[in-house]
Amino acid sequence: MKKGIHPESYRFVVFKDMSNDYSFLCKSTTESKETVTWEDGKEYPLVKLEISHTSHPFFTGKQMFVDTAGRVDKFKTRYKKFEKKD
């Protein structure tokens, strides 16, 4: 490994999966403005995740339904004014 390219400011951080409220504690260098009290009573920085190994379809084996029709409708209404008229 090259010297001087890896950060040395590792600290314990709580990562929280917002889709299913699963949290885990591990070391990281990521920055966070939020904090949370962990099970041991200590306060740690909190990083919120969209998806983790507990909610990702690859790891769970379940495919989650995504509302693509709603997204398409939102897109069409948002950009309706730019639509070409023939």
Residue 86: inside a domain: no
Number of structural domains (the chain) is 1
Tokens of 27: 């070391």
Give pTM, 2 decimals: 0.60
3-state secondary structure of 71: helix
Classify residue 6: in a domain, yes or no.
no
The answer to whether residue 62 sits within a structural domain is yes
Give 10-residue mean pLDDT values along the chain (86 residues): 83 89 91 92 91 65 61 79 71
> Residue 1: inside a domain, yes or no?
no
Residue 54 lies in a domain: yes
| Distance of alpha carbon 38 from alpha carbon 85, whole angstroms | 58
> How many C-beta atoms surround the C-beta of residue 35 within 10 A?
12
60, part of any domain: yes
Q: Which residue range forms the structural domain that includes residue 55?
A: 11-81
Report the pLDDT value the prediction gives residue 85, as an integer from 0 to 100.
67
Q: Is residue 23 part of a domain?
A: yes
Does residue 15 lie within any of the structural domains? yes
User: How many C-beta atoms surround the C-beta of residue 38 within 10 A?
Assistant: 15
